[in-house]
Structure 1
Amino acid sequence: MKRVAMILKVEVNLINNFITIFSIPTLMILPMVIAIICFVAGNTRLSRLISVISSITLVVICALQAGYVLQQAAPIELIIGGWQPPLGIRLSINEFSAIMLLMTSTIGLAITFYSTQYFDDDEKEIRFWPLWWFLITALNGVFISSDIFNTYIMLELLGLSAVSLIAIQGTQQALQASFQYLLVGLFGSLMYLLGVAIIYRTYGVLDNQLVANLVESNTSMQLALALITLGMMMKCALFPLHFWLPSAHSNASAPVSAMLSALVVKAAFFILFTFWFKILAPVVTFTAVTIMGIFGAMAVIYGSYRAFTSPRLKQLIAYSTVAQIGYLFLAFPLMFTTPDLARTAVIYFIVAHGCAKAAMFLAAGVIQKAMGHDQLSQLQGIASQLPISIFVFAVTSASLIGLPPSGGFIAKWLLLNNAVEAQQWWWVLTLFIGGLLASAYLFRVLNLAFTTPTQENSLTVLAISESKLLGAVGLSIITIIIGLNAMWLTNLITGSY
């Protein structure tokens, strides 16, 4: 028995050492190496094979990390080169970033599987895979970076990868959207860099934790926070700085649209949330968070209205992202009174929305390929032709609307309870109006899909396999699972803080 216990102890120590030492650099090294291999090889079959294997590997690594961090209620840290900050560079995974990494790898696996069967043009696919893996590298880098300048580097890689992925679609609309996204991204990064420069000029350090320990509420830090906020508001498309998102997301290929909406805008929000409530927390005032909440409420209303009036399916989903991002900013004023509940609501909402929106864009991609377009006026009767696509759309719609037992329902319920407990009743009204508007524009699609077409509007659908939607079905099921297991997940998140 003692030998067995010793063996088990050794195995546990090996697992812990892997998680704390080797797994963090793997999150960036593995996708970067895969990107280089895909670029050098230029072979679609090889790229597909190693991409699927690598995606599964990342899911396993991120699951181990998330389990370790949430159970230990302590972050994983790695100091590069052994030099302590400010000389050295710290990489860390806390509870929030562990969940973001696991969500990224899970959604990334679903999109990777989808992409192996999506492209009809080998030239586009050859360009897609290296850029795809550079995007994954940048996302992982944002979530593990504990240095405000390294975060900037990852933001630049993320933006350039996303712009290039939109541009490979090759249409005039996609090229215009990618150019607009490039300009917006560069301006947002410049604002962020100016804020970082002010922080470094004031305190002489770049490490997140050291800055948080030194920062004081003064004019310089208020300016730094304002610049960083402006930059990240543009990158996460918060109203009224959302103007680039609908064209970029609706004109990109389906796998790119899914990742942009589910994760790339969330990376910008992750950075903004970290600065407001961790790094520069002493600078934040109740007036400031209230203003952010008002912007969020306006985004919910405006984005929902534009989604309802959109003539195209992917454009509708893109404007839905504008609206759904607004819900995240409703939590800003709630962080002042009930921070633990507000943080839990934010994390829950990000996971629920990320899985739902990725699956919805993947389903829309199949519909667009089958019909040759995504005009809503010609969707009548599509449910009988593409049942899996409409099933995915229906389940994810329930989550975005906030219907039980979906994860979206739990996320909005947490926000609602939070607003009531904080006695900020006006946000409750926004939640109800947003839910009604989401019902209007999403049921509009489902109503058309299940309506029998008239003889004049007979439906012409190309024969297309829906097998690529296996990952999207999995994401849809996840939105239901996290709704049915709400207490377990919320307790896990809350207990880790």
Structure 2
Amino acid sequence: MIERFGLHESTFDPLWYTHWALAATLVLPILAGLLGARCAPRRLFPVALACLPILLAGALLVFDYQQAGLLRWQWQVAGVEISLRFNGLSGLMLMITQWVGAAAALYTPGHLRITHPGKRARWLWPLMGVLISSLSLIWLAADLLTLYAALELMGLAAVGMLLLSGKPAALKAGIRYLLLALVGSLAYLLGVALLLGYWGALGLQALAEVVEPGPVTWVAAALIGAGLALKAALFPLHGWLTPVHENAWTPVSALHAALVIKASLFILLMLWSILLPGTLLAPRFVAWLGMLAIVWGGLIAWRADSLKTLVASSTVGQLGYLMVAFPLLLGPSITPLAEALAWEGFWLHLMGHSLAKAAMFMAAGNLIIATGESSLRGLSGTSRRLPLSLLIFGIAAVTLMGLPPSAGFTAKWLLLQALVISQQWVAVAALLAGTLLTAAYVFRVFRYSFDETAPRHQYQPLAPGMDIIALCLALAAFALGLLAHLPLALIQGGGV
């Protein structure tokens, strides 16, 4: 399992231009963010110009990996060894991060131009840059210290982006989010301290070679798991998630739902594959919580009165699909086929959800801005004036429902195959129930939107590109199901 995360020796050293691509990937987002704070771009072109070298650097790293295999870097800083590695999974997560980040950055000028948030809005750019850089570092980190530093940097940037709106409700939700994130960080750090004190290894590969089952390992895994589950808003530790999205700016919600919570889940799966290989109890417990999350998140979204609450609550249910796969990825191997199907379905669902959820939040934000209403009833009659925003919402919903030929369908098909092979029938029923609940709350949105008896309201025109950017993300999630062989080929074998 750990080989799939690139935690093994590399055959070739990175080429000279790969070092520059790595530096650009980690540093350019911050520099572009600082430049944005200085210039406060109001058009798409300068933002696209700043995103282009970042995207090219990421593509160059993927190209070098395809040519040379696993890439590794190691440095000694103040007596501490810092390790990075780049394999197929790292490349996949890096590309999703950069493309969703670029879409959020391109969406931001139009959003700020309409909402007029004041001078504090300029700080969104450097915080966004820090967020993208810290996420990129998480996908590449191969030691516990770098993972912790990147995780904290990402969390602080996410909290800062939320507080920028300045609304009392946002401040309350932001402080609550910060306190819970710090509690999660403390639990994670205590687990790391136990591992370091007992096994004396910070590097993930070195830790995998020396760690053995026992009370210390189990307690450390429990602390790390609880802290990361809190940060990832995994059921039932998701109570902070909806208030955060209800009060955040649209690009902040898009980035947070698509990327931020996925980083903690990524770290959790990677560290448990080292600490709890072949263990049944902990992964099975997570899977049962995932089944509850699918049903609970769907029911809350179905009963929601606010559009943002609906979209945020659906995230809880969608994360449940990923939690259900934990026994197949970490538990005793039933068949190699079931494990391989679960591995591919897990990451394909994560990618599809990232693209679709970012598109859905942007579409929801466009509907709220244009109508001035945040409730579902306030959407009445929008089909006449905002058909494109509703179309984007619907295309993104196709992925979340798992209808063909979207990424959601392909991912759920892979997961269902793995669950059937392993005879986990309750999980199969939960996945099918989740699909029906997703359809139920999505059609509630369209039921109000197509209410032709509603009076005609005054609509705020959207800035150019706001719908087009969201549409590109929704179509990418849709097309990913047809082109699933491309990302799956990148992660098969994990770079072995």
TM-score scaled by length of structure 1 = 0.91
1:218 counterpart letter in structure 2: G
CA RMSD of aligned residues (A): 2.2
Tell me which of 471, 474, 487 is aligned to 1:473: 471
Measure, in 2, the Cα distance between the counterparts of 1:412 and 1:98: 23
Any conservation in 2 of the 1:108–1:259 contact (CA below 8 Å)? yes
- In structure 1, stretches of 5+ residues that fail to align are 1-12
* Matching residue of 1:295: 289
The 3 A distance-change label for structure 1 pair 262 and 73 is: farther
Deviation, structure 1 residue 68: 3.8
Tell me which of 7, 24, 27 is aligned to 2:25: 27
SS at match of 2:411: helix
Any conservation in 1 of the 2:403–2:409 contact (CA below 8 Å)? yes
Structure 1 residue 17 corresponds to structure 2 residue 11: no
1:408 counterpart letter in structure 2: G
The 3 A distance-change label for structure 1 pair 390 and 46 is: closer
Any conservation in 2 of the 1:90–1:145 contact (CA below 8 Å)? yes
Give runs of aligned pairs for residues 51-200 of structure 1, distance below 5 A.
51-69=47-65, 71-72=66-67, 74-80=69-75, 87-119=80-112, 120-200=116-196
- In structure 2, stretches of 5+ residues that fail to align are 1-11
1:385-415 CA-partner distances (Å, limit 9, x unpaired)? 1122111101000000000111111111111
2:285 counterpart letter in structure 1: I
SS at match of 1:430: helix
Measure, in 1, the Cα distance between the counterparts of 2:453 and 2:270: 50
Any conservation in 1 of the 2:348–2:484 contact (CA below 8 Å)? no
Measure, in 1, the Cα distance between the counterparts of 2:14 and 2:400: 38
* Matching residue of 1:439: 439
Fraction of identical pairs, as percent? 35
* Matching residue of 2:403: 403
SS at match of 2:72: strand
1:17 counterpart letter in structure 2: W
The 3 A distance-change label for structure 1 pair 68 and 391 is: farther
Any conservation in 1 of the 2:42–2:110 contact (CA below 8 Å)? no
Deviation, structure 1 residue 72: 4.9
Any conservation in 2 of the 1:47–1:129 contact (CA below 8 Å)? no
SS at match of 1:306: helix
SS at match of 2:41: helix
Measure, in 1, the Cα distance between the counterparts of 2:120 and 2:320: 34
Any conservation in 2 of the 1:80–1:91 contact (CA below 8 Å)? no
Deviation, structure 1 residue 51: 4.1
Of residues 389-398 and 47-56 in structure 1, the stretch that sits farther from structure 2 once superposed is 47-56
Measure, in 2, the Cα distance between the counterparts of 1:289 and 1:496: 21
Larger relative contact order (C-alpha < 8 A, sep ≥ 6)?
Answer: 2
Measure, in 2, the Cα distance between the counterparts of 1:328 and 1:477: 22
Structure 1 residue 280 corresponds to structure 2 residue 279: no
TM-score scaled by length of structure 2 = 0.91
Of residues 420-429 and 256-265 in structure 1, the stretch that sits farther from structure 2 once superposed is 420-429
SS at match of 2:384: helix
SS at match of 2:110: coil
Deviation, structure 1 residue 94: 2.1
Deviation, structure 1 residue 474: 1.2
* Matching residue of 2:341: 341
Tell me which of 322, 326, 329 is aligned to 2:316: 322
Measure, in 2, the Cα distance between the counterparts of 1:92 and 1:193: 22
Deviation, structure 1 residue 27: 1.8
* Matching residue of 2:239: 243
Measure, in 1, the Cα distance between the counterparts of 2:68 and 2:275: 23
Deviation, structure 1 residue 234: 0.4
1:156-187 CA-partner distances (Å, limit 9, x unpaired)? 11111111111111111111110110011000
Measure, in 1, the Cα distance between the counterparts of 2:140 and 2:386: 40
Of residues 476-485 and 241-250 in structure 1, the stretch that sits farther from structure 2 once superposed is 476-485
Any conservation in 2 of the 1:233–1:241 contact (CA below 8 Å)? yes
The 3 A distance-change label for structure 1 pair 86 and 172 is: same
Measure, in 1, the Cα distance between the counterparts of 2:483 and 2:388: 25
Measure, in 2, the Cα distance between the counterparts of 1:223 and 1:178: 30
SS at match of 1:118: helix
SS at match of 1:116: helix
Give runs of aligned pairs for residues 409-424 of structure 1, distance below 5 A.
409-424=409-424
SS at match of 1:92: strand
Measure, in 1, the Cα distance between the counterparts of 2:51 and 2:457: 37
Measure, in 2, the Cα distance between the counterparts of 1:216 and 1:24: 34
Measure, in 2, the Cα distance between the counterparts of 1:124 and 1:263: 23
Give runs of aligned pairs for residues 239-278 of structure 1, distance below 5 A.
239-277=235-273
Any conservation in 2 of the 1:304–1:434 contact (CA below 8 Å)? yes
* Matching residue of 2:5: none
The 3 A distance-change label for structure 1 pair 316 and 388 is: same
Measure, in 1, the Cα distance between the counterparts of 2:380 and 2:326: 41
Any conservation in 2 of the 1:73–1:95 contact (CA below 8 Å)? no
Deviation, structure 1 residue 203: 1.6
